[in-house]
Amino acid sequence: MRPDDREPSRSRGPRLTRRTLLRRSLVGALGATPLLAGLSAACQSSPAPSASAPPAQPTGSAAAPTTAASTAPSVALARPQSVKLAWTAVTGAQSGFWMAYETGAWKELGLDVDLVRIGSSSRMAASMQANEIDGGVLDWALAFQFIAQGGNARQVGSITDRLIFAAISQPSIARPQDVVGKRWGITRIGSSTHTATLVALEMWGLKPDDINLIQLQEVPAILAALQSEQIDVGTMSPPTSTRARDAGLHVLVDLADDGPDYPSIGLAILDRHVRDNPDLVRAYIAGYAMGVARFRKDREKALAVLRQYLQLDDPAILADTHEKFSRYLAYPPTVPMASLPRVKEDVERDDPSVAKVQIADLVAPQFADELQAQGYFASLS
C-alpha cells in the first residue's frame, strides 16, 4: 500500500504553523465557498463504516452497564434528540466513540447520532464553526487556538490524557539527534500527530524547524510512506505503530509509556448546547462513557468494532490494540484541568493569540463532574 505516488507536500518555506492552518480553515468555514463545500463533502462522503445499518444491540458483559445507565434519571433524555458527531482518525484512541455508536449507547439515552468522519481536528473545527456538526473528537492543543480565533465549542470530557503516539523511524536512524534535517510524516498540521511530534522534539531539545514536516492526511499513510522510504520518521498511534514495530522499523520514543502527562484529544460540543441544552450534553458524555466501559468489558464486540473501523483482520494486532486502549482511554472521562496549563503554554509558543484564552473559555467540566459525583461512571466500571 502506497499513500500516493506524488511527492508529499512539505511544510517549509514559509513554515505552515498551527496558527496559519487553523486561520485558513476558519476563514473557509465563515464564508469561503470552496473550503466549506469541501467540508460538507467530507461529512457526506466519509460516514462511519456502519452508518447505513442500525446500531448493534449490546451483547455479553455489556448488558450490566446498560442497566445501570438506564436507571439514572438525570442522564436519559426526556425526548429523543438528534446530533451529528464526527470522529477524526483511524486509531484505537477513538474506540470509545465507535463503541458508543455501534452498541447503541447514545440511542439508549435518547440521542439519535449521525456519525460522520472528518479527516482532521482542524477540518472538524471549521465544520463546527459552520454549524455543520454538533461535536466530536477534538485535539486539545487545537482547541485552544479554535477558541482564540472565535470558536464556538467547548471541551466537555477527555478521551486520552496522554499522547498515545510513537515516533518511529527508518532503522538507520538510531538516536533522536539523527532526525535533524529529516523528513517527518504527520497527518496534518494542527492534528494530534503534530502535537505529539512537537512534544517529542521538545523532549530531545530540538525545535520544529529542525525537521521537514510532511503532511500525509492519514495515519496508515505514514507507515506506507516509511516503508516506501518517502519519509525518514513518522508519528503514529496503535495499531499502525504496532504494525511498524513488527515490520522492523525503529521506535525512537513511545510517548504513551515514556512521554509526559499531556491531554491529547477530548469531547467537543457546540457552545449553544452547553448554554441551552445541558441534558443533551450530559447524555453525550454519559453515552461516550458507556462506550468506553463496553470496550473494556465486552472484548468480542470491541474486537469486531476495531476490525470494522480500522479495516484490519490481523487477530494479534487487533488484540494488542484492544489491550492497549483498555488502559489508555481516560476513565472517568472528566476534563483534565490540572494538565491543561501545560498544553496552553506549548500552543502559545506557536500562536501568541492563545495567551488571551482562559482555560475557563475552553472547557465546560461541570457536566462530567456531576456525573462522577452521582456515581454514574463508577456504575459502569
- pLDDT, position 49: 52
- pLDDT, position 2: 34
Mean pLDDT value across residues 322-344:
96
Whether 62 shows a pLDDT value over 90: the answer reads no
Handedness of CA 274, 124, 219, 363 (dihedral sign): negative
Specify the domain boundaries for CATH 3.40.190.10 within the chain. Answer: 23-49+56-162+265-380, 164-261
Length of the chain: 381
pLDDT band at 15 (very low <50, low <70, confident <90, very high): very low
Which residue, chain included where needed, has cell 457536566?
A: 367
In this structure, the strands spanning 135-139 and 261-270 are antiparallel
- pLDDT, position 349: 85
CATH fold for domain 23-49+56-162+265-380: D-Maltodextrin-Binding Protein; domain 2 (3.40.190)
* pLDDT tens by residue, 136-153: 999 999 999 999 999 999
Question: CATH number of 164-261: 3.40.190.10, 1.20.1440.130, 3.40.50.2300, 3.10.640.10?
Answer: 3.40.190.10
- The rounded percent of the chain whose pLDDT value lies above 70 is 81
In whole angstroms, how large is the CA radius of gyration of the chain?
A: 20
- pLDDT, position 255: 94
Burial of 5 (0-12, 13-18, 19+ CB in 10 A): exposed
| Cα distance between residue 345 and residue 95, in whole Å | 29
**Angle ∠(162,365,278) on CA atoms, nearest 5:** 130
Mean pLDDT value across residues 371-377:
96
**pTM of the complete model:** 0.78
CA dihedral 301, 74, 138, 332 (to 10 degrees): -60
* pLDDT tens by residue, 158-191: 999 999 999 999 999 989 999 999 999 999 887 8
| Cα distance between residue 288 and residue 96, in whole Å | 6
